[in-house]
Amino acid sequence: MRLQIGSILTCILFGLVSYQVAAQSKNFIEVSYDRGPIVGNQKDWAEELINKIAYSGVDARFGWRSSKNTYFNYVNRYPSYGLGFTSVLNYYSEIGRPMGVYAFGEFPFGSNDFHRKLNFSYYAQIGLGFNMNPYDAESNPMNGFIGTAVNAHIHFGLKAAYQFSDTFGVFTSVGTKHYSNGSINKPNAGINFIPIAIGIRMNLDKEEFNPGPKPEFPALEKRGYWNIAAYTGVKSYDVGQRAYFRGGLGVNYLWELSHKYRGGLGVDWFYGAGARDRYPNENITFLDSNSFAVVGSWEWKLTDRLYMPVAIGVYVTKAHYNQEITSYYERIGVRYRVNTNVFAGVQIKAHKAKADFFEFTLGYTIPGKVQEIIHH
């Protein structure tokens, strides 16, 4: 249930951006077909399962490219946002026929030249995956990839597109498509496809996309910000075990680097409940279920309210019983700033791209004093 709520909230956050830009945008439909390998985890059962599956899929999405002449759009090269649906074509008894609904953002490379025929971009899709056959000790013991029928859908990739006319274009893309429940229920190795896609694009508006001259930029206030964030989530540690609370607290000091980015350093504290239940014969100490880390944080501002947090943390102490399997961790997600101070969001914390748990975040920002004003 937490996973479904988190994925739905993420779609809503991207949908808020789509709603804001839809009134002044170029609308389009894209349809694609993709094939590619499935990535395993070097386990014998995974290799056996991969040999049974020949992945191919289809994807359809409806999107908006904002032509609103704001400085946020300008520095992000006038990105596209929208909603989509994807499905594996074939049914397999071990994994089912994975499908997904998602929100997406697509961000062009290069300068703001709207007359180019050939364009390159990168994209992210975040949403809800479903229609999967999870692990079952009796009826489906081979599937160690997923332990739930509903999972997060996450897809990152690169795209090349060629526009033949104002209304018709083609594209190809390559990326990684991941289905996971964030360790809410084990097993959770995750289903990982590497789809290589070809597709067509139809622009629904015949008007030329031209936002106009470079917009006026407000003065950049060089100042620091204290971010205080509470993380909550759940995690299952072994197959057949219940899920326990996972959470923590983060304090970061971020500096206004540009109109597009903030960056800084901070500390994270993580707590994992249930260690005494899971290891009743062990002498559990405070540091067995609590860990501390130094973290480098970065924020990519998509609008005045929506942004993506990215972080790399290095453990100072690791909780022995919380399956913190590496000396460092990664974090990526999406957050929405309710007002100047309050923000909320969802992120995934991972070790070497393997999910530790989904973080549902509520936080508070304390702006520092303005130290310098830079006029653009």
Residue range 169-188, pLDDT digits in tens:
999 999 999 999 988 999 98
Mean per-residue pLDDT for 93-112? Answer: 93
Structure-model confidence comparison of residues 215 and 294, the more confident one: 294
210 band by pLDDT with thresholds 50, 70 and 90: confident
214 band by pLDDT with thresholds 50, 70 and 90: confident
Q: Taking 80 as the threshold, does the pLDDT of residue 233 lie above it?
A: yes
pLDDT at site 21: 47
Q: Taking 90 as the threshold, does the pLDDT of residue 9 lie above it?
A: no
85 band by pLDDT with thresholds 50, 70 and 90: very high
First to last CA, the chain: 46
Q: Taking 50 as the threshold, does the pLDDT of residue 5 lie above it?
A: no
pLDDT averaged over every residue in the chain: 90
151 band by pLDDT with thresholds 50, 70 and 90: very high
pLDDT at site 169: 96
d(CA 247, CA 277): 17
pLDDT at site 14: 53
pLDDT at site 131: 96
Q: Taking 70 as the threshold, does the pLDDT of residue 18 lie above it?
A: no
Mean per-residue pLDDT for 154-179? Answer: 95
pLDDT at site 254: 97
Q: Taking 90 as the threshold, does the pLDDT of residue 62 lie above it?
A: yes
- Looking at the chain, the whole-number percentage of residues with pLDDT higher than 90 is 71
pLDDT at site 204: 92
pLDDT at site 265: 98
Count Cα atoms within 13 angstroms, Cβ side, for 310.
8
Q: What is the CA radius of gyration of the chain?
A: 22
* Residues with Cβ within 8 Å of residue 133, at least 6 apart in sequence: 92, 93, 94, 95, 96, 140, 143, 149
